Every structure is written in C-alpha cells, then in structure tokens.
Structure 1
C-alpha cells in the first residue's frame, strides 16, 4: 500500500484501493469461516493448519511476484506469469 502512488497510474488508484479493501473484507470473512469448518471437522489443530496453509501461500506469493520498479519507473499493468491461468 505504501508504494501504490509510485506503481499505479493516477487513473487506477481508486480501483486498486477498492480491490485492496475487498480482499481485506473477504479475508476477514472467509478466514474464520474456513478455520471454523476445519475445527468442526477435526479438532482445534485444524484451525492452526488452516492458518499455516494461508501463511505458506502468502509467503509463496510474496516470493514469486515481482517487486515494484524503483527510481520512479512505472510498472505496466500485466498479470504476473505466476497468476495466469493459461
């Protein structure tokens, strides 16, 4: 969020902020829901397994996605190859 004014063109900032807010709200809803389902199916350890899986996934995405450009260069709006479906 700190670098959004350096990476995103002005025309796309509102869309990016809305996307960030949507993902945050979606995570706040789905995280406890999935953890509660895992706890219900197994035991309390199931909730920790869900948290571990989410942490590993977030770490993997952070390692695979490209860093924002430096020195004021703009990044082109492309889907990183790691997230492409085809």
Structure 2
C-alpha cells in the first residue's frame, strides 16, 4: 500500500470585516515637526485636522496618512462566483 498526497485548491475572498471599521492616522512630514493625529474612525475629521495643522503652520503641507482595517477571509462555495473587484 502506498501513501498519496491530495492537494485541493479553494477560492477565497477577502473583505473588510463587517464588525470592523477603517481608522486613519497621520503625521506631518515637515522637518522637525512632531505633529501626529491619533487613530480615528472619523475620516473626514482626520482630513480636517491635517488641513487645520497646515493652516496654523504654513509650510507644513505634506503628511503621511495610514488607513487600517480589519479584514475577513472567507472560503467560497463551489457554486459561488468570484466577486468583482470592490
């Protein structure tokens, strides 16, 4: 009797977790500036905070912004079609 390996490939999808939220952090890249935006799920307020920082500090117009989300990977049933790009 011999041993055989069986490989099975399954299609999966990855999406934002339904119970998760997107968060934004930012920091000013002006030389010597230490301004940072704490993580917030209010993306519009985060954008406003960056613009307010620039308004109060001319020349501080370049930011590093980072978005974060929790994702969920699910295995697709053979009957499911791969989703279109979201």
**TM-score normalised per structure 2:** 0.32
Choose between structure 1 and 2 for higher RCO, CA contacts under 8 A separated by at least 6 residues: 2
In proportion to residue count, which structure has more strand?
2
- Whose helix fraction is larger, Structure 1's or Structure 2's? 1
TM-score (norm 1): 0.32
